[in-house]
Amino acid sequence: MNFSRKIPVGISQCAMGDAVRFNGGHKHSKVCTELLGQCFDYVPLCPEVAIGMGVPRKPIHLLVEKDGAPVDAVRVIGVDDASVDVTAPLRDYADSVVPELQKVRGYIFMQNSPSCGLRGVRRYLANGHGIDSEGVGVFARRLQQQFPHLPMEEVGRLNNNELRENFLTRVFAYDAWFRYVESGDTGDAVAQDADNNVDISGADKRPGISGRPLSFLARVIEFYTAYKYLLMAHHQDKTRALGKVLADAKSMSEAELAFEVRGRIMDILSRPASRKDKTNALMHSAGHLSEFLDKREKAELKELIEDYRVGHKPLSAVLTLLRHYLPRSPHSFIHSQVLLAAEPAELGLCDFN
């Protein structure tokens, strides 16, 4: 599959195959470079090398004072020499790369690292005893705080097909949000907004997801509408709650609305879509087309969705048939549904050995 436009994504540099680890080695991930590299344009960073620790270097780990300490109550110290404390340099480095990372639409971190680990990093007491695995790498944690809605995942978890599909879905949505809602730029229009500044003034109309010039609020609503069935496939209650937020959107400032809606969309998508909820969203989609189908076609579509629900047919089979019937409908709502667009599996991004 050739992607005409690659999405900028940050990544722990050792996952790219660069020998930057403390022991002089790397942790090359073929899933990241060979598979996801087809659609991601990577920004590789190694915070420990960047702060001058060198390669090879003495190992470091997370230190806490007691069991159950809050995630930010950690220090990153030398395993063999507790006087080595790189907590502040790692946090400062994360702050320093924020401008460079404004353009990324996802971040892939190396697991189990006191700098880059996103979850479950081992924490130690001053006596060297491991106390729990509740830590988050200090660099990763700082970037979580700086970019609270940025899709993030660990290298190892991307070997799992479902987790990889979910990460791709979130990255594609986050990228689309900044292309069509907050910045409003689409491809060629980037040059007009070289700093990628967020224009939420609403004063000037920009192209939304449909390509039509729209005000900021109209772009938000159009985006939500296009994502509605995909969001429903991930979390129906939260999708309905987001719809209510949008109904009251006029009482919110544009900045508040941008933060609120972006956050809710990324939260909903972070929950993997279940087959049951996807089936429900497919049924809704089929309902929009039923008036344009004859009896046999309706029955065939219904049977195919049921086959998908029980695991006998892949999602792509249902999507293919829905897309086949799509031109019969004159209604823009169903044509705009991202759920019916190419899913990661159809882009060849899910099966990898």
| Contacts with ligand SF4, residue ranges (CB under 6 A) | 12-14, 20-21, 46-48, 110, 113, 115-116
> Least distance from C-beta 48 to ligand SF4, angstroms?
4
Q: 39 pairs with which residues across the strands?
A: none
> Least distance from C-beta 113 to ligand SF4, angstroms?
4
Concatenated DSSP letters for 266-300? HHHHHSPPPHHHHHHHHHHHHHHHGGGS-HHHHHH
Could you tell me which of 143, 62, 55, 73 has the C-alpha nearest to residue 104? 143
Give, in order, the Cα–Cα distances in Å from 68 to each of 87, 125, 257. 19, 11, 35
Instruction: Report the residue number, 48 or 134, with the smaller CB distance to ligand SF4.
Output: 48
> Least distance from C-beta 21 to ligand SF4, angstroms?
4
Q: What gap in Å lies between CA 11 and CA 23, rounded to an integer?
A: 19
Instruction: Report the residue number, 14 or 338, with the smaller CB distance to ligand SF4.
Output: 14
Tokens 């892949």 sit on residue = 314
Q: What gap in Å lies between CA 54 and CA 17, rounded to an integer?
A: 17
> Least distance from C-beta 325 to ligand SF4, angstroms?
48
Sequence-separated (6 or more) residues with CB below 8 Å from residue 66: 125, 131
Instruction: Report the residue number, 46 or 220, with the smaller CB distance to ligand SF4.
Output: 46
Number of CB atoms found within 10 A of residue 240's CB: 11
> Least distance from C-beta 131 to ligand SF4, angstroms?
21
Q: 78 pairs with which residues across the strands?
A: 60
> Least distance from C-beta 103 to ligand SF4, angstroms?
19
Instruction: Report the residue number, 119 or 335, with the smaller CB distance to ligand SF4.
Output: 119
Instruction: Report the residue number, 47 or 208, with the smaller CB distance to ligand SF4.
Output: 47
> Least distance from C-beta 39 to ligand SF4, angstroms?
21
> Least distance from C-beta 230 to ligand SF4, angstroms?
32
Instruction: Report the residue number, 25 or 287, with the smaller CB distance to ligand SF4.
Output: 25
Instruction: Report the residue number, 155 or 171, with the smaller CB distance to ligand SF4.
Output: 155
Phi–psi pair at 280, nearest 5 degrees: -60, -45
Instruction: Report the residue number, 113 or 183, with the smaller CB distance to ligand SF4.
Output: 113
Concatenated DSSP letters for 213-270? EE-HHHHHHHHHHHHHHHHHHH-HHHHHHHHHHHHTGGGS-HHHHHHHHHHHHHHHHH
Q: What angle do CA 98, 49, 63 make, to 5 degrees?
A: 85
